[in-house]
């Protein structure tokens, strides 16, 4: 089994690339999907979140109120650290369980924040290679504004809170440049990367 880290900035097309790698036969372990499951109603993080942050951060269904929590963690770094101390160990354990259950020779860990120093240090010893999906920051901003109905200032705030484009490229073994490509051209880029990774 080869373990591949996949990352890319918000709006880079990383999720599309992950889907294409899955179609080519890779197992995808999606950190964001696992994170959402831990903070859904009945999720494994919710008891601790309610205890630490209070009922104001739990919505009417019993899930994390993502909008309120996003506002809090952007404004308060200590709150962000508290949230991560609850969710990160649960996410990592669930990812490890999915890796062990994988039946394919290529397992791709879809890790949006892989280039963040602490995240990369934690995963680096386990990864055989890192794939970075890259595009211009202006392209990221335009895509996210169109997709999420967000203001430019909101998108820029999220992008600026994450690792820089240069930091992501610095850890890459393979770069998939998703700039000005048709879907078919991107598929060809992904197929070429898949062949290199096996």
Task: Check residue 120 and give its pLDDT.
Answer: 67
User: Are 95 and 132 contained in the same domain?
Assistant: no
Q: What is the pLDDT of residue 127?
A: 94
77, 14: one domain: no
Q: Do 3 and 99 sit in the same domain of this protein?
A: no
User: Domain ends where: 78, 103, 128?
Assistant: 103
- Domain boundary residue, one of 103, 127, 149: 103
What DSSP state is assigned to residue 58?
B
**pLDDT confidence of residue 117:** 67
If 0-12 CB within 10 Å is exposed, 13-18 middle and 19+ buried, where does residue 78 land? exposed
Q: Which of residues 66, 88, 103 is at a domain's end? A: 103
Question: What's the confidence (pLDDT) of residue 63?
Answer: 97
Residue 130 shares a structural domain with residue 187: yes
25: left (phi over 0), alpha (psi -120 to 50) or beta: left
Q: Within the chain, which residues score under 50 in pLDDT?
A: none
Query: Do 55 and 98 fall into the same domain?
Result: yes
The count of structural domains within the chain is 2
Q: What pLDDT does 149 receive?
A: 85
Same domain, 165 and 191: yes
H-type alpha helices, 30-111: 31-38, 46-53, 66-75, 77-101
145 and 92: one domain? Answer: no
* Per-residue tokens: 196: 């290199």
Can you give the CATH number for the domain in which 186 is found? Answer: 3.40.50.300
The residue count of the chain comes to 198
């Amino acid at each position: 089994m080869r373990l591949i880290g996949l990352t890319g900035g918000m709006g880079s097309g990383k999720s599309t690339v992950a889907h294409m790698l899955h179609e080519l036969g890779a197992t995808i372990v999606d950190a964001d999907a696992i994170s959402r499951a831990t903070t859904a109603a009945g999720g494994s993080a919710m008891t601790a979140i309610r205890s630490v942050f209070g009922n104001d951060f739990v919505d009417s269904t019993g899930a994390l109120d993502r909008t309120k929590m996003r506002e809090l963690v952007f404004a308060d770094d200590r709150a962000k650290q508290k949230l991560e101390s609850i969710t990160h160990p649960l996410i990592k354990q669930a990812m490890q369980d999915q890796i062990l259950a994988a039946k394919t020779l290529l397992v791709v860990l879809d890790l949006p924040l892989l280039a963040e120093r602490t995240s990369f240090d934690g995963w680096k010893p386990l990864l055989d290679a890192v794939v970075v999906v890259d595009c211009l920051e202006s392209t990221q901003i335009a895509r996210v504004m169109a997709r999420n109905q967000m203001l430019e200032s909101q998108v820029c705030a999220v992008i600026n809170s994450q690792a820089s484009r240069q930091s992501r490229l610095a850890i890459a073994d393979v770069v998939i440049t998703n700039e000005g490509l048709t879907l078919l051209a991107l598929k060809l880029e992904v197929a070429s990367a898949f062949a290199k990774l096996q």
